[in-house]
Structure 1
Amino acid sequence: MKPFRSKSIVVSALLALSVVSTAASAETLLIERVRESASANLPARGMTMAQVEARYGAPSQRMEPRGGQKRQWPTINRWVYPAFTVYFEKSRVIDAVANQANANEIGPKSPIN
């Protein structure tokens, strides 16, 4: 009975995706660009700041560190590159995310509408 249920879920998800992609085919969706950049060469989790700078060059902007007021709140640094932003905990990459391409790019809907 479980295989049938999982097949139904997959089919429902595929149908929902096809409806969404048809409705937004003329627009650039953030999720589509994020999928493309997921295969792109982004800094990997665990890289040091020195490794990121050696591989990608100097960031266009280094944001002020946040956190660090208490031991359980580590300092988070954020470096902004033209295509992505890198988040560091202390000096190690914890995440890298694609930047919004322009103000017209459609992202996820806000939960408050």
Structure 2
Amino acid sequence: MNKLMSAAIAASLAISALSTGFSQPAQAEQVKVPVMSQGDRTAMTMPSTGQSREAVRQRFGDPVSVSGPVGDPPISQWHYDNFVVYFEYNHVIHAVARHNR
């Protein structure tokens, strides 16, 4: 949830609390989940760090789309249905599960 939405919800709750006779505005707690613990990576098969582009293509097929390369060293992304693979030059540096839409 972004900060603007959190603030809007907190403001709405505060107005609601004031109209019902509570003297203290409502407090909202923001829960942060670290990127690497947002999903069960063990349940998915994804490319491993260090694999070559060719090894990824042989095992997972052609990507749905490709982004990059960008920067120095060149970083590119291969987008699959369930994950995104990040390459530095021709080797995997990370694979990330995609958010369910």
TM-score calculated relative to the size of structure 2: 0.60
Q: 1:90 maps to what in 2?
A: 89
TM-superposed deviation, 1:74: 0.6
TM-superposed deviation, 1:38: 3.1
Identity %: 35
Q: 1:79 maps to what in 2?
A: 78
Deviations 1:73-113 (A, max 9, x none): 310010000000000000000000001112xxxxxxxxxxx
Question: Residue 97 of structure 1: SS of its match in structure 2?
Answer: strand
Stretches (4+) displaced over 4 A: none
The alignment of Structure 1 onto Structure 2 pairs a total of residues equal to: 66
Structure number, greater radius of gyration: 2
In the aligned structure 1, how far is the partner of 2:44 from the partner of 2:88?
A: 22
Unaligned runs of 5+ in 2: 1-30, 32-36
TM-superposed deviation, 1:65: 1.0
Question: Residue 64 of structure 1: SS of its match in structure 2?
Answer: strand
Q: 2:8 maps to what in 1?
A: none
In the aligned structure 2, how far is the partner of 1:89 from the partner of 1:42?
A: 17
Would you tell me which structure has more helix in proportion to its own residues? 1
In the alignment, is residue 50 of structure 1 matched against residue 54 of structure 2? Answer: yes
Unaligned runs of 5+ in 1: 1-19, 21-29, 68-72, 103-113
Task: Between the two structures, name the one with larger relative contact order (CA 8 Å, sep ≥ 6).
Answer: 1
Question: Residue 55 of structure 2: SS of its match in structure 1?
Answer: helix
In the alignment, is residue 39 of structure 1 matched against residue 43 of structure 2? Answer: yes
TM-score calculated relative to the size of structure 1: 0.54
Q: CA RMSD in A?
A: 1.7
Would you tell me which structure has more strand in proportion to its own residues? 2
In the aligned structure 2, how far is the partner of 1:79 from the partner of 1:101?
A: 17
